[in-house]
Amino acid sequence: MNIQEVARLAGVSISTVSKVMNGKADDISEPTRKKVLKVIEENHYIPYAKYRKKEGLKSGLIGLIVQRNNTYSHELIMTVEEVLKKREYQLLIRILDDTETLDEAIRQMQKRNVSGMIINTAGSTFYKNEYFKTVYLSDKLRFEESEKNIFYYQKSEAGRQIARMLLEAGHRTVGAVLLEEERFILKGIEEVYREENLSGQLINYYVAEDMEDIRKNGTHLCIAEDVTAIVCGNVLITGCVVEYAEQSGIHIPEDLSCICADDDHVLECISSGITGVRYPIRQMAKDAAGYLLDLIEQKRQSEIVRKYIPELIKRNSVSKRNAGDYKAKMVIVGSMNMDNLIEGEQIPLNGQTQIAKNIICSAGGKGGNQAVGVARLGGNAYMIGRLGKDSDGRVLYRSLGNHGVNLEGVEFDDFSASGKAFIHIDQNGENTIVVYRGANENLDGHQLARYKVIFQKSRFCLLSSEISREAIVAAIKCCKETGTKIILKPSAIEELEEKLLNGVDYLIPNEKELGKIISGNQSLEEKAEELLGGGVENVIVTLGKQGAYLKNRKYNLYFPSAPFHAVDTTGGADSFISALAVTLSEEKDLIYSIIYAMYAAGITVTRYGVQEAMPDKNTVGIYREEIDALYHRMMKAISG
């Protein structure tokens, strides 16, 4: 069409059309002007584009710039085209590849006189032109303040939803196989693990440059023995993982749960259906296209940023882990005693006679206490020890059973009475303890060998030294043969040989016990360093009111005490060890676990007795905000 045809259809002269197009229609009546503009509009007259834009006339053409490697380009194009067709617009598509910049693509759109543009590229930048209306589709995390008219989702949000679903199903150690452009998915998973104070080492991930790398390396590196769920970045990776699992005799979801961080109908046909993530491409494109047309037709000035949330499409590829699967199994090797607690103004000195204010008899012993502490905090406690065939033995056995401790490894001795402890407590809650080992001393290597099966698949062995040296050696041997981590409380010792300490994962003495292990005038830090040199992995010294001290290859760190007033410190160390073991078994990191354990111990020492004073998970949970706050302060101080 040319200007002559416009004049003919409008029934006016060419000069009249020219005046209207050039904005010089002061001497032309308004009805004539509108008639000319209507002809131009209805016939999509392209020349004089700048005047058309000035007059608010639309060309009927919308540009879409999309990246060539965009896996959602087909869905995006079809959706936008559907919206435009209903409102009598046409779509002009430009596929952006590596040889063309976004600026070049925009200039080409300008030459075609589009009325507006939809931009969906990896390098989307805010583009502003008084004549062009532009909206953006993006999966970016952040935007400049000047950027508007953005419709976006975040791939990290998909990772967050996946992590939440797996954690709620009881999974802790997960694998992730991703391409480089899918790394934001991993970021979301890591965010949730940090929020839950779970170690990032539980995420066994592989980020590859291409699919060939994934086929060769990614799958078998991520499906480790302890991984119970795997996250795949896209449908192709999911196919590779499923194929590898089938070849390895791994069943989905019975042995390995699987989630695809993308969605496609083919996932319905893989195994019994693979859970996927559906991104809001269609809704985003529909809303963005409609909004763009409103901007053009209604000359709207409002500018928006609208976020969309990916949707989990649940199928049959995620199995629940029973509470027992992660209710960590722990074997406790130690003493069981009947405690005789005597409370007075002060602890008797040589030649003194003190009047007791109170006497309490209750079940105790380092091993029994730790077993109850573990059970009350939700762990599977398996006790190995020895009791006498007497009334105390029956009371101790029944008490442990009532607390949910597995007593398969407990035997009754034909010759010795049950162990006893005589505990003197002063008005400040401090104590001294005299122990009669009794049947505890007859726990030997033969009994440990009979119950070696208990060590298998146990996360930790809680070991204390109120038993014979033979039993300690046998327990350490069982741990090393089964891969069970050792937590050793060196109580009631005169000497602890260095060779016994070699390979101990966590040694937890108080300051006096540390002095017995390493004599001399060295500082606490120097003694701990010496123990590390002897093969101990982590030294944690409990310091009573002063808190605790941690020394390992990574940390040299003091912890403040929990804010509690002690009335009986007898079970504080046992409560600390139990809580530490349970929290570590839940894959919390060591710093968090020590803080949690200090709060558990703090609660215990506000009560008389030991086993009945051990807190349950709900009680410690009352202080969750305080524990989290202290953890974050300490981690900030460490990193900063």
Residue 131, pLDDT score = 47
The string of DSSP codes covering 228-288 is: -EEEESSHHHHHHHHHHHHHTTPPTTTT-EEEESS--GGGGTSTT--EEEE--HHHHHHHH
Backbone φ/ψ region at 532: left (φ over 0), alpha (ψ -120 to 50), beta: alpha
Q: Is the pLDDT of residue 529 over 70?
A: yes
Enter the pTM of the model: 0.57
Q: Look at 250 and 504; give whichever has higher pLDDT.
A: 504
Residue 423, pLDDT score = 80
CA 567 to chain centre: 37
Q: Is the pLDDT of residue 118 over 80?
A: yes
458-468 pLDDT, tens digit each: 889 999 888 98
Return the H-helix or E-strand segment holding 556. Answer: strand 556-559
Out of 65-79, 345-359, 598-612, give the one with best mean pLDDT.
598-612
Quick check: 524 and 503 in contact, CB under 8 A? Answer: no
Q: Give the helix ranges, DSSP H, for 534-623.
A: 572-585, 590-604, 617-621
Q: Average of pLDDT values for 144-163?
A: 83
Residue 323, pLDDT score = 46
DSSP state, residue 12 = S
Task: Count CB neighbours of 193 within 10 A.
Answer: 20
Cα–Cα distance, 365 to 25 (Å, whole number): 103
Quick check: 381 and 404 in contact, CB under 8 A? Answer: yes
Q: Is the pLDDT of residue 144 over 60?
A: no
| CA dist 514 → 23, 488, 499 (Å) | 94, 12, 16
Quick check: 231 and 176 in contact, CB under 8 A? Answer: yes
Residue 239, pLDDT score = 92
Please, what is the average pLDDT of the chain? 85
**Strand duo 380-388 + 329-333: pairing:** parallel
Cα–Cα distance, 635 to 640 (Å, whole number): 8
Q: Of 462, 456, 497, give the one whose Cα is nearest residue 375.
A: 462
Tokens for 319, please give them. Answer: 């199995």
Distance from the first to the final alpha carbon of the chain: 70
Task: Count CB neighbours of 589 within 10 A.
Answer: 18
**Strand duo 406-413 + 380-388: pairing:** parallel
| CA dist 567 → 357, 572, 610 (Å) | 13, 11, 12
Cα–Cα distance, 621 to 379 (Å, whole number): 15
Fill in the amino acid letter for 278: R
382-400 pLDDT, tens digit each: 999 999 999 999 999 998 9
Residue 52, pLDDT score = 46
Quick check: 507 and 481 in contact, CB under 8 A? Answer: no
The SS3 of residue 42 is helix
Residue 1, pLDDT score = 60
Quick check: 424 and 401 in contact, CB under 8 A? Answer: no
Fill in the amino acid letter for 100: E
Out of 64-68, 190-194, 453-457, 574-578, give the one with best mean pLDDT.
574-578
- Portion of the chain with pLDDT greater than 70, in percent: 89
Domains and CATH numbers, the chain: 3-54 (1.10.260.40), 61-153+282-313 (3.40.50.2300), 155-278 (3.40.50.2300), 327-639 (3.40.1190.20)
Q: Is the pLDDT of residue 482 over 70?
A: yes
Q: Average of pLDDT values for 299-315?
A: 81
Q: Is the pLDDT of residue 213 over 60?
A: yes
Give the residues across from 204 on adjacent strands. 175
Residue 132 pLDDT grade (very low, low, confident, very high; cuts 50, 70, 90)? low
- Portion of the chain with pLDDT greater than 90, in percent: 44
Quick check: 460 and 485 in contact, CB under 8 A? Answer: yes
The string of DSSP codes covering 561-579 is: PPS---S--TTHHHHHHHH
Task: Count CB neighbours of 522 within 10 A.
Answer: 13
Q: Is the pLDDT of residue 188 over 70?
A: yes
Fill in the amino acid letter for 181: E
CA 638 to chain centre: 20
Residues 6+ apart with CB under 8 A from 192: 159, 160, 163, 164, 167
433-451 pLDDT, tens digit each: 788 889 999 999 999 999 9
Residue 50, pLDDT score = 47
